[in-house]
Amino acid sequence: MINTRMLVLAVAGAIACGSSVQAEDTFRIGLIDPLSGPAATTGEVGLKTWQFLAGEVNASGGLNGQKLEVVGYDNKMNPQETAIQAQKAIDSGVRLLVRANGSAPGVALNDFLNKFNERNPTKQTLYFDYAGADPAATNEKCSYWQIRWAANIDMKVLALASFLKGQADTKKLYLFNGDYSTGQGIQKAMRTNMAEKRPDVQIVGDELVPLMKVNDFAPYVEKIKASGADTVVTGAWGQDLALLLKAAGEAGLRVKWYTFFAQGIGSPTAVRQSGLPSHTVFQIYEAHANLPSVAYREEEKNFRAVVGAGQTMMYPGSVNAMDMFSKAARDLKTLDVAKIVASLEGAKFKPRAGGDGWIRAEDHQVFQPLYVASIGPIEKDKGFDEENTGWGWRQIGEVKPEDTLVPTTCQMKRPQ
Amino acid sequence: MLQLVTFSILNGLLYGMLLFLLASGLTLIFSMMGVLNIAHASFYMLGAYFGFQIAKEIGFWPALLIAPLAVGLIGALIERYGLRRVHAYGHVAELLFTFGLAFIIEELVQMIWGRVPVDYRIPAGLNTTAFTLFNTSYPTFRVFILLIAVAVFGLLMLLVTKTRVGLIVRAALTQPRMVGMLGHDVPRIFMLVFGLGCALAGLAGVIAGPVFVTQPSMAGVFGPILFVVIVVGGLGSLAGALIASLLIGLVQTFAVALNVSIGTVMGAVGISSPPLLLDELWPVTIAQIAPVVPYLLMVLLLIFRPTGLLGRRM
Amino acid sequence: MTAHSLLSAGSLGPARWVNSLVANAGFALAWAAAAMLLVVLPLIFKSDSAIAVMCIIGVSVVFALSYNMLLGQAGLLSFGHAIFFGLGGFCAIHVMNAVAASHAPVPLVLIPLVGGLGGLFFGIVFGSLASKRGGTIFAMISFGLGELVSSAAPILNRFFGGETGITTDRSALYAPFGMNFGPQIQVYYLIAGWCFISSLAMYFVTRTPFGQIMRAVRENPERLEFIGCSTRRVRFVAFILAAFFAGVAGALAAINFEIMTVSNVGGNQSAMVVLMTYIGGIGYFVGPVIGAVLITLMQILLSDITAGWQMYLGILFVVVVMYAPGGIAALFGPEGMAAQAWHSPRQFVLVMPMLLTVVGGMLLIELGYQVGLKSSDGPIRVLFGIAVNSRSPLPWLVGLALVIGSFCGLRFATAPADRMPAVLRELTGVPHG
Amino acid sequence: MAETSTAAALRLDDLHKSFGRTDIIRGVTLEVKQGERHAIIGPNGAGKSTIFNLISGRMAPTRGQILLDEKRIDGLSPFEVSRLGLSRSFQITNVFPKLSVFENIRCAVLCAEGQAFSLWRNLNGVRAINERCGHVLESIGLADRRETLAESLSYAEMRALELGLTIAGNAHVILLDEPMAGMSRTEGERALELIRKISAGRTLLLVEHDMAVVFEIADRISVLVYGEIVATGTPAEIRANAAVQEAYLGQAAHHNGARP
């Protein structure tokens, strides 16, 4: 039978590649993110970021005599693929997984680890979500084995609302989001928060557009125009954001754009191309290249030196994650992730970006200051620009972590 | 409101004409060779990237000429050395060949230009506003696209109706075998038509690239809608393709403009209470499902009138 | 589509029919051997990930075989087969959660059946529309339906669970004899069992009268009408059978991953099964099995080694379509190239230049990625254990030389055509005698 | 001469078919008796094939009725007509190219036996079916070719298989569309024998250009000119019929010219 012959060969191959040998003195970190296909751009930056951070740790003598190595696993943005890649990583000795892109893979990984760590107590594995935005991952789908180092979208919306409180010129608000969980989340949270913080603001439009399916946003732009909005809050990202801004630029729509994902790859370029006037596109995020914090700008400089001048360090969460992980490892003198996660519960820390941060024990959600910035021309060596567009972020507001406190529904199952 | 309608029409026309640029080539190829070229949108993408590269090196205007030719040439070569040998194995094999081709082209584009959108800008000369209606400016470049599309449509019609080649093509639409019998080199005609179709797609890419985003996923975004167009228009009918393109362009833009929910629509036709399990559809607005509408149209049409609006064969 | 146009859809020609009759005694043995293999595999490959990989392969095998019922047997090219894989899986996962919640004494082992019935149900719904016509129209309807479902799914949050999908815990179900299917190995045997049963069932379908009629509708639907058989009904039955087994596969996936998301009904999933089935070979029963194993491994493992795994997939597919329309199975089949190659040294020699072509091609592709997409990683790329500088012209020249040289070598070496098996003749472009 | 009863096996009643504005069949009324061999002749473009397509369900008539054993069949789809016991052959050979001769016949038998959708029995296990296929193969003289692919048969063999497919079912009325087309003399002889054999005990409606064959085999002949029957009768009567002479022979030159 051919199929049997094939199967043997195939699986033999699988093993050959699957379980690669690891040196004794290296601690391997598995990054599970899209490394092929359209979403790979973000995944690759994530991989570079973690390899950069691991390099820093190694330069400072590694952790407890062990060098860090970051290995990428391609989950193709697919939750099921995420599970199998996690399995592969753990098999090859990985005990710390990191991941950021897409909420489905995130939830899948939480789910996988909850069961896996229970079923295989000897191979318990920790997982850092270094940029995930889906609230579910720290609410109904939360996991003891996950720590989320980025603010989830509910927190960001809350923060934005409290920022807009101080923005008198925002009177007519238009909500423009993708028709998927995060988009719907933004829509809902914005409405409730604005009603509470700025009841005077009138929500003149509320759009949910199918994800990555719209070719021409001009009709939507016409609609926004017709609504007479002065401010648009959008969770659009990547292609959708680019097309939206482009159409707006063409039609000469002049509003303030408050975005959640404008630091994403290609988006600064898109802003630049759109022909929109400077400092009309805003983002709210854990950091930006031109923060007041000297320490962070230093890190940004080193990062760009390694990865390329155009690429900002777009995952500040990973910096905190690596800092806190190595600190815990050194304090406890161990790399046993079970001990480490236990020690991190409720831990307080000082983010390099500035301010205070802490890991909430109930849901392992990290709280830290968020920054509102607008993009516009940056003079040479007066700061970093984005993607070599000559435009960069300028801070216009900071939101204290206390103003991002959202309750959690997480019922965490802690191992006995 | 009037403003919304006017600009919806304008944008609908623009989008429709772009669709037509692609659909015309696709439908020609299909009706002549019986090949449903799944990779057609990939040639549109190639056009955009070539356009971007050439515009960067030499300038936009040369790109407008060279890029489509290059894409057409590639298309012809693929037909000659790929599709033609597969032809012997029948239509399924041909379909699958183009299916695999789409895969490869997307990967090639990523390999060469990366996965990030490239900075393909509207040429300075055309980056102005053509006219301003109800204090909304309409960009010159969109007008330019419209003009090009209309011009191409005109030329295509001339080619098909007035020239000898067109005569053969039209004959081949209905009587492919007979044309061969009449001693025409049918394979060569196929090659030319395939090249022409790809060139048209390439042209669409060159002019659409700056308006939309030029990135590896652009083929995947445009591809499916194309089949809707040629099916709705009727396989093998240029006029049909035009009508369908405009129809879908307008349907999509207006669906966006509407703020009606399915519930209200259903209520209007007398189905007030949602059927089991579908009740969460009721609050969904037409704008939300705008991009789904064409596929509904396509399936219904295929089931009840597979010849499409103006289709001849099948 | 004309009957002629479906020649590529493989066939069980008399030669092979005789073989299968002769093999009739042997085939029971073969299946027994396959069963044995499924049992012992996890004893050979113990690592968790190996077992996990084999689980996924099992799922893909069932899925691909179900697809080949349409494409290989009935000659129906569907671009929306994932609908039934996904919907079956979702039905299964909802039932699993319901069972777990109500503590009903339903063992996990029966869940794939639920998936199958789910697939069957939706198969009947969509099949009644799609089976109206064959050929290209069918392909397009299936495509349209696929797009419809996959674009409607994100809106129907209750059934599809939105973006995060629906999760479950297989070990929460009623577990007789302490089999709670927590450990992957238990899941493996569940999947292996169902894979074996489904494959056997699908094999038997090909040997029933209906199997014969399916091949007839593939060959010449019109004639079948005139000898008194409703082709629409044939297409319909074939469609719902395929949908049933796709549903089973979906349920197995749900059990294995304990999560289903909208991506499972998506176009990508539909595309993958086309690739698997066709690359494996639609003319042989084992074809899809080979394809499923190969493509699944490529998906899971190749992505670690190279950024261009999809490129290789696409090229492999196109090469198969162009040069080996019978698929990989045909190469090993009775008149296959490889089959000859084994026992004819002359042709075994020819396998060498082919391999060289492949090596050269890989070299060029990897270099391409290094200078293009991966340029930020620097010019050096380690290939076949050698560090290659993608900036220097030498490796490029080597690659080109390998490809062109060995390809030309093939063309010369393989004349005269008449002494060559068909596939090789195709491969080397020598015109038929 | 087969015995002829008075009951009509097939009756066409004022049958019309028009494509767009052009009328192809213009009120054909025709009665084929049980067990008779009836031939339709007429110049090219008279509408012979159209009549076959109407009877066999390939097309629906614009007006008029078709009765098989006094039951209306007009407008039914081909497989329904075939189920009612009427089966046809095609002028251009129309078989299952990639299936073996045996499989070809077996398909027809399975359909006729209502076994087409049986999913619970082994194909080779159904002895009755296989034996019946054997008989059919015997009767069309392809027994020794049973495992050959249909596409690799000789032309004459293919025509035989075509007939085999037509009679393999339970059809008691068979329509043969130019069974002799493109055959050499000797092949023709054998084909003629074959037709005689298979039409025994069946009702036969035949369209054929080879007049020798028609006048030799047919019990009755109908002459179709421009979609109308100008005459029906025994070969002798037709020979004698002036109208036919005029209408038909007038065409002869053109008609022969048109022969392949």
pLDDT tens digits, C144-171: 899 888 888 877 888 888 777 888 888 8
Q: Which of A14, A55, A48, A6 is nearest to A31 (CA)?
A: A48
**C163–A307 CB contact, under 8 Å:** no
With cut-offs at 50, 70 and 90, classify the pLDDT of residue C253: very high
Q: Are residues A254 and A166 in the same domain?
A: yes
Q: Which of C14, C212, C222 sits opposite D123 (nearest CB)?
A: C212
**D116–C219 CB contact, under 8 Å:** no
**A108–C376 CB contact, under 8 Å:** no
Round to whole Å and give the CA distance between B250 and B256: 10
Partners of residue D97 in chain C, C-beta under 8 Å: 3-4, 7, 219-220
D90 to chain C: closest CA residue = C223
How far off is chain C from B247, nearest CA to CA, in Å?
18
Q: With respect to residue A293, please indicate whether it lies within any of the assigned structural domains.
A: no
Does any CB of chain A come closer than 8 Å to the CB of residue C301? yes
pLDDT at residue D258 greater than cutoff 50: no
How far off is chain C from B133, nearest CA to CA, in Å?
35
With cut-offs at 50, 70 and 90, classify the pLDDT of residue C345: low
Round to whole Å and give the CA distance between C184 and C48: 7
pLDDT given for residue A316 in this prediction: 93
pLDDT given for residue B181 in this prediction: 63
Q: Are residues A398 and A254 in the same domain?
A: yes
Predicted confidence (pLDDT) per residue in D68-94, tens digit? 988 898 888 999 999 899 999 988 888
* Average pLDDT value for residue range C41-45: 86
Q: Which of A6, A80, A102 sits opposite C253 (nearest CB)?
A: A80
- Residue A181 contacts residue A79 (beta carbons within 8 Å): no
- Which residues of C187-288 form beta strands (DSSP E)? 259-260
With cut-offs at 50, 70 and 90, classify the pLDDT of residue A41: confident
B134 CB-contact burial (10 Å; exposed 0-12 / middle 13-18 / buried 19+): exposed
Mean pLDDT of chain D: 84
Percentage of residues of chain D with pLDDT beyond 90: 19
Q: Which of C106-120, C133-147, C306-320, C327-341 has the lowest mean pLDDT?
A: C327-341
pLDDT given for residue B113 in this prediction: 85
Q: Are residues A251 and A399 in the same domain?
A: yes
Residue D209 tokens, joined: 């250009």
Q: Are residues A259 and A323 in the same domain?
A: no
pLDDT given for residue A42 in this prediction: 86
How far off is chain A from C24, nearest CA to CA, in Å?
14
Residue C166 tokens, joined: 């629906």
pLDDT at residue C344 greater than cutoff 70: no
CATH topology of domain C4-327: ABC transporter involved in vitamin B12 uptake, BtuC (1.10.3470)
How far off is chain B from C363, nearest CA to CA, in Å?
14
pLDDT given for residue B175 in this prediction: 66
Q: Which domain holds residue A179?
A: 154-285+387-403
Round to whole Å and give the CA distance between A185 and A192: 11
Chain A interface with B: residues with Cβ < 8 Å: 38, 40-41, 179, 207-210, 212-216, 218-220, 222-223, 225-226, 239, 242-243, 246, 250-252, 265-266, 269-270, 272-273, 275
Better-predicted residue by pLDDT, C380 or A209: A209
Going from the N-terminus, what domains does chain B have, and what CATH number goes with each? 2-304 (1.10.3470)
With cut-offs at 50, 70 and 90, classify the pLDDT of residue D179: confident
What are the residue ranges of helices labelled H in C131-162?
135-152, 157-160
pLDDT at residue C199 greater than cutoff 90: yes
With cut-offs at 50, 70 and 90, classify the pLDDT of residue C364: confident
pLDDT given for residue A346 in this prediction: 92
Predicted confidence (pLDDT) per residue in B42-73, tens digit? 999 999 999 999 988 888 888 888 999 999 99
Predicted confidence (pLDDT) per residue in A111-127, tens digit? 899 989 988 889 999 99
**A222–B121 CB contact, under 8 Å:** no
Mean pLDDT of chain C: 82
pLDDT at residue A239 greater than cutoff 90: no
**C148–B299 CB contact, under 8 Å:** yes
Partners of residue D88 in chain C, C-beta under 8 Å: 226
Round to whole Å and give the CA distance between D48 and D51: 5
pLDDT given for residue C342 in this prediction: 56
* Average pLDDT value for residue range C21-41: 79
Name the segment(s) of chain C with CATH classification 1.10.3470. Answer: 4-327
pLDDT given for residue B38 in this prediction: 87
**D110–C209 CB contact, under 8 Å:** yes
Q: With respect to residue A182, please indicate whether it lies within any of the assigned structural domains.
A: yes
Q: With respect to residue A89, please indicate whether it lies within any of the assigned structural domains.
A: yes
How far off is chain D from C415, nearest CA to CA, in Å?
26
pLDDT given for residue A8 in this prediction: 45
pLDDT at residue C233 greater than cutoff 50: yes
Contacts of residue C40, Cβ cutoff 8 Å, sequence gap at least 6? none
Better-predicted residue by pLDDT, B127 or B17: B17
pLDDT given for residue A18 in this prediction: 39
Please identify which residue in the block is written with the tokens 């078709």.
D66
pLDDT given for residue A360 in this prediction: 95
Q: With respect to residue A297, please indicate whether it lies within any of the assigned structural domains.
A: no
Round to whole Å and give the CA distance between D23 and D31: 22
pLDDT at residue C195 greater than cutoff 90: yes
* Average pLDDT value for residue range A62-75: 91
What are the residue ranges of helices labelled H in A165-312?
181-197, 218-227, 238-251, 267-274, 294-307
Partners of residue A51 in chain C, C-beta under 8 Å: none
pLDDT given for residue A3 in this prediction: 45
* Average pLDDT value for residue range B148-157: 86
Round to whole Å and give the CA distance between A398 and A277: 23
pLDDT given for residue D48 in this prediction: 87
* Average pLDDT value for residue range C215-240: 92
Q: Are residues A224 and A96 in the same domain?
A: no
Partners of residue C57 in chain A, C-beta under 8 Å: 7, 10-11
**D107–C230 CB contact, under 8 Å:** no
Question: What is the total count of domains within chain A?
Answer: 2
B219 to chain A: closest CA residue = A215
First to last CA, chain D: 31
Please state the ipTM of this predicted complex. 0.83
Contacts of residue A32, Cβ cutoff 8 Å, sequence gap at least 6? A73, A75, A82, A85, A86, A89, A97, A98, A99, A105, A109
Predicted confidence (pLDDT) per residue in A305-316, tens digit? 988 888 899 999
- Residue D249 contacts residue D239 (beta carbons within 8 Å): no
pLDDT given for residue C3 in this prediction: 35
Round to whole Å and give the CA distance between C32 and C81: 30
Residue A155 three-state SS:
helix
Residue A235 tokens, joined: 């969770």
pLDDT at residue A256 greater than cutoff 60: yes
Round to whole Å and give the CA distance between B75 and B68: 10
Q: Are residues A235 and A130 in the same domain?
A: no
Q: What is the CATH number of the domain that holds A138?
A: 3.40.50.2300
Q: With respect to residue A374, please indicate whether it lies within any of the assigned structural domains.
A: no
Partners of residue A140 in chain C, C-beta under 8 Å: none
pLDDT at residue B311 greater than cutoff 60: no
pLDDT at residue D3 greater than cutoff 60: no
**C311–B108 CB contact, under 8 Å:** yes
Partners of residue A187 in chain B, C-beta under 8 Å: none
With cut-offs at 50, 70 and 90, classify the pLDDT of residue C376: low
Mean pLDDT of chain B: 80
pLDDT at residue D226 greater than cutoff 70: yes
- Residue C259 contacts residue A83 (beta carbons within 8 Å): yes
pLDDT at residue B102 greater than cutoff 70: yes
**C163–A81 CB contact, under 8 Å:** no
pLDDT at residue A192 greater than cutoff 80: yes
Strands D228-233 and D220-225: antiparallel
Q: Are residues A112 and A70 in the same domain?
A: yes
**A84–C52 CB contact, under 8 Å:** yes
Q: Which of C290, C304, C310 sits opposite A17 (nearest CB)?
A: C304
With cut-offs at 50, 70 and 90, classify the pLDDT of residue B81: confident
Partners of residue B39 in chain C, C-beta under 8 Å: none
With cut-offs at 50, 70 and 90, classify the pLDDT of residue A379: confident
Better-predicted residue by pLDDT, D254 or A279: A279
With cut-offs at 50, 70 and 90, classify the pLDDT of residue A1: very low
With cut-offs at 50, 70 and 90, classify the pLDDT of residue C16: very low
- Residue D188 contacts residue D212 (beta carbons within 8 Å): no
Q: Are residues A237 and A163 in the same domain?
A: yes
Round to whole Å and give the CA distance between B180 and B108: 36
Q: With respect to residue A36, please indicate whether it lies within any of the assigned structural domains.
A: yes
What is the maximum alpha-carbon separation in chain C?
Answer: 71
Round to whole Å and give the CA distance between D240 and D236: 6
Q: Which of A63, A9, A30, A1 is nearest to A334 (CA)?
A: A63
* Average pLDDT value for residue range A14-21: 41
Kindly compute the dihedral angle of the four CA atoms of residues C358, C359, C364, C369, in this order, to the nearest 10 degrees.
100
Most B CBs within 10 Å: which of A35, A214, A250, as the mutation test of the B interface?
Answer: A250
pLDDT at residue C117 greater than cutoff 90: yes
**C17–D165 CB contact, under 8 Å:** no
Contacts of residue C247, Cβ cutoff 8 Å, sequence gap at least 6? C84, C85, C87, C88, C89, C91, C92, C115, C116, C117, C118, C119, C120, C122, C123
- Residue B76 contacts residue B210 (beta carbons within 8 Å): no
pLDDT given for residue A14 in this prediction: 40
Please identify which residue in the block is written with the tokens 């767009």.
D20
Contacts of residue A394, Cβ cutoff 8 Å, sequence gap at least 6? A279, A290, A373, A374, A375, A376, A378, A383
With cut-offs at 50, 70 and 90, classify the pLDDT of residue D96: very high
Better-predicted residue by pLDDT, C427 or D67: D67
Cis bond leading into C416, ω under 30°? yes
Going from the N-terminus, what domains does chain D have, and what CATH number goes with each? 1-85+171-260 (3.40.50.300), 96-169 (no CATH)
Q: Are residues A241 and A362 in the same domain?
A: no
Partners of residue D77 in chain C, C-beta under 8 Å: 225, 230
pLDDT given for residue C339 in this prediction: 57
pLDDT given for residue B12 in this prediction: 85
pLDDT at residue C1 greater than cutoff 50: no
Round to whole Å and give the CA distance between B298 and D216: 56
* Average pLDDT value for residue range C235-259: 94
* Average pLDDT value for residue range B195-214: 88
Q: Which of A248-252, B205-209, B306-310, C102-106 has the lowest mean pLDDT?
A: B306-310
Better-predicted residue by pLDDT, B289 or B12: B12
Round to whole Å and give the CA distance between C342 and C348: 6
- Residue D165 contacts residue D104 (beta carbons within 8 Å): yes
Please identify which residue in the block is written with the tokens 């060569």.
B188
Q: Are residues A129 and A237 in the same domain?
A: no
- Residue B196 contacts residue B44 (beta carbons within 8 Å): no
With cut-offs at 50, 70 and 90, classify the pLDDT of residue D107: very high
Better-predicted residue by pLDDT, C307 or A384: A384
- Residue A266 contacts residue B117 (beta carbons within 8 Å): yes
- Residue C271 contacts residue A89 (beta carbons within 8 Å): no
* Average pLDDT value for residue range C303-315: 83
pLDDT given for residue C422 in this prediction: 57
